[in-house]
Amino acid sequence: MKVERDLHMNRGDGETSYAANSRLQKKSILKTRPVLHKAVAAAHASSLSSGAGAMVVADLGCSSGPNTLLVVSEVLGAVANLHEEQAAVSGVRPSPPPRVQHLQFFLNDLPGNDFNLVFQSLEVFKKLSAKESGEAALPPYYVAGLPGSFYTRLFPDRCVHLFHSSYCLMWRSKVPDELARGAVINEGNMYIWEDTPQSVVKLYQRQFQEDLSLFLKLRHRELAANGQMVLAFLGRKNRDVLRGEVSYTWGLLAQALQSLVKQGRVEKAKLDSFNLPFYAPSIDEARDVIEQSGVFDISHIQLFESNWDPHDDLDDDGDLVLDSVRSGANVARAIRAVAEPLIARHFGEHVLDELFKMYARNVAAHLQKVKTKYPVIVLSLKARRVPKCQANGNCH
Ligand SMILES: C[S@@+](CC[C@H](N)C(=O)[O-])C[C@H]1O[C@@H](n2cnc3c(N)ncnc32)[C@H](O)[C@@H]1O
């Protein structure tokens, strides 16, 4: 598997597309709204005080569908509110009229992302948001697509004021080398699961640490002074790494593949050689990497939980799953929109319908026993001023 080539969400806006099945991720964007708005205010202030021609905002792993432009809309709305507040202050005190800052958005994802869908929806988005903003006129803004991995440099030095990334950083830059070489060391699984050897857990953990510290180093170089970064990604609440909540998501999918192996419809060797480029860390694991990087201060860190079923909005209902069959089908649709391209490339398209039917049944049976929730880690980070040699890791 080559992540840069193979990883993308289901394209288009049809029944199985990510665009039509990203309610779970939408809920996370809405939940992190207050954190994002605070970071926008800080980034806006720093772009104004530095005299930059525009406030530069990049959404990393933007995907395609309504969530992509929801992020743009949230940032625009937050800046419009700031302009209004400034106008109200200068209305009561004699002061120069507030400067309206232009916004430049960069929407980043891997090259296989359905950027066309995003670009095609821009005109309607612009018209609708201008109409809806009413009194609070939106600042002038420009939107560009930026294909490439966020585990590489994406921008020149010090030119971005705000990075945002939602539901992306649990994806690794690659499958850990030893697993990718084809060694059968996590038989029957596609990720960490109850019988995964500790040596394999360590491979995933090391890959996570390397990826996140590289990501922080790269973004720090690209951020302007006082630059901000808001990150939300899947994590783990259970201390036991073999029983992490997201492990169940992939474990139940591996079980469905095992059933296809038993029926002779999938080769066992194919299943044994399929490994996800994924790791959901605990909040402590994430904090440790950030602290060790030495280039960001943590302004906010939290973990919230989100029901597996994207359509289940009952948050304070303890362990109650009202209709496990329906929830199983909803979870299967959400996971299919994310994992289908990787599965289809490895196992072939012919397995998809039967696989996700079985998966829906496995999830329904699991939800009858325990209402599992996705833990989501939310971070707001502020770039630290550090000597250039420290950021590059070559101080003597
Ligand atoms: C679950 S989607 C989230 C999309 C969107 N942010 C949302 O909240 O709906 C994860 C996205 O991260 C992207 N992604 C994963 N690894 C990436 C990388 N190394 N560089 C850029 N994008 C990446 C995937 O292609 C996918 O579009």
The residue type of 154 is L
* Tens digits of residue pLDDT in 12-62: 999 999 999 999 999 999 999 999 999 999 999 999 888 888 999 999 999
Joined together, the tokens standing for residue 27 give 């809920």
| Residue 319: per-residue pLDDT | 74
| Residue 155: per-residue pLDDT | 97
* Tens digits of residue pLDDT in 161-212: 999 999 999 999 999 998 888 788 898 899 999 999 999 999 999 999 999 9
Annotate 315-340 with DSSP letters as a single string: -S-TT--S-HHHHHHHHHHHHHHHHH
63: nearest Cα among 125, 12, 132, 100:
12
What spacing in Å lies between the alpha carbon of 73 and ligand 1's midpoint?
Answer: 18
Say if residue 97's pLDDT is above 60: no
Domains of the chain: total: 1
Which of 108, 110, 376 is the pocket-test mutation for ligand 1 (most atoms within 8 Å of CB)? 110
The three-point CA angle 178-182-186 to 5° equals 75
- Cβ count within 10 A of residue 383: 25
What spacing in Å lies between the alpha carbon of 123 and ligand 1's midpoint?
Answer: 23
Cα gap 221→73, rounded to integer Å: 26
Q: Which atom of ligand 1 is nearest to the CA of 150?
A: 20
* Tens digits of residue pLDDT in 334-387: 999 999 999 999 999 999 999 999 999 999 999 988 888 999 999 999 998 877
φ and ψ at residue 383, rounded to 5 degrees: -65, 130
What spacing in Å lies between the alpha carbon of 21 and ligand 1's midpoint?
Answer: 14
Check which CATH number belongs to the domain holding 201 and give it.
3.40.50.150
Joined together, the tokens standing for residue 149 give 């991995």
Q: Which atom of ligand 1 is nearest to the CA of 62?
A: 6
Q: Measured from the CB, is residue 168 less than 6 Å from ligand 1?
A: yes
> Are 363 and 308 within 8 A, CB to CB?
yes
Give me the count of residues in the chain.
396
Cα gap 147→170, rounded to integer Å: 19
354: nearest Cα among 246, 245, 248, 261:
261
What spacing in Å lies between the alpha carbon of 371 and ligand 1's midpoint?
Answer: 26
What spacing in Å lies between the alpha carbon of 85 and ligand 1's midpoint?
Answer: 34
Q: Measured from the CB, is residue 169 less than 6 Å from ligand 1?
A: no
What band does 82 get if pLDDT is binned at 50, 70 and 90? confident
Beta strands at 223-234 and 373-383: parallel, antiparallel or unpaired: antiparallel
Strand order across the beta sheet in which 54-60 lies: 141-147, 102-109, 54-60, 160-166, 223-234, 373-383, 296-307
Q: Measured from the CB, is residue 149 less than 6 Å from ligand 1?
A: yes
| Residue 90: per-residue pLDDT | 62
Write the residue with the smallest CA distance to atom 25 of ligand 1: 8
> Are 375 and 286 within 8 A, CB to CB?
no
Residue of higher predicted confidence among 362 and 239: 362
Q: Where do the H-state alpha helices sit in the chain?
A: 3-6, 23-31, 33-49, 66-92, 115-133, 177-180, 198-222, 245-262, 268-272, 283-293, 324-347, 352-369, 388-392
Q: Measured from the CB, is residue 10 less than 6 Å from ligand 1?
A: no
φ and ψ at residue 172, rounded to 5 degrees: -90, 160
Q: Measured from the CB, is residue 295 less than 6 Å from ligand 1?
A: no
Cα gap 18→336, rounded to integer Å: 9
Domain extent, residue 15, equals 3-392
Q: Which atom of ligand 1 is nearest to the CA of 338?
A: 1
| Residue 93: per-residue pLDDT | 55
Cα gap 277→33, rounded to integer Å: 28
What spacing in Å lies between the alpha carbon of 338 and ligand 1's midpoint?
Answer: 9
What band does 240 get if pLDDT is binned at 50, 70 and 90? confident
Beta strands at 54-60 and 102-109: parallel, antiparallel or unpaired: parallel
Q: Measured from the CB, is residue 110 less than 6 Å from ligand 1?
A: yes
Annotate 14-64 with DSSP letters as a single string: STTSSTTS-HHHHHHHHHTHHHHHHHHHHHHHHHHHTT-SEEEEEEET--S
Q: Which atom of ligand 1 is nearest to the CA of 8?
A: 25
Q: Measured from the CB, is residue 7 less than 6 Å from ligand 1?
A: yes
% of the chain with per-residue pLDDT over 70: 93
Query: Residue 96 CA to chain centroid, in angstroms?
Result: 40
The residue type of 356 is F
Cα gap 212→220, rounded to integer Å: 12
What spacing in Å lies between the alpha carbon of 109 and ligand 1's midpoint?
Answer: 6
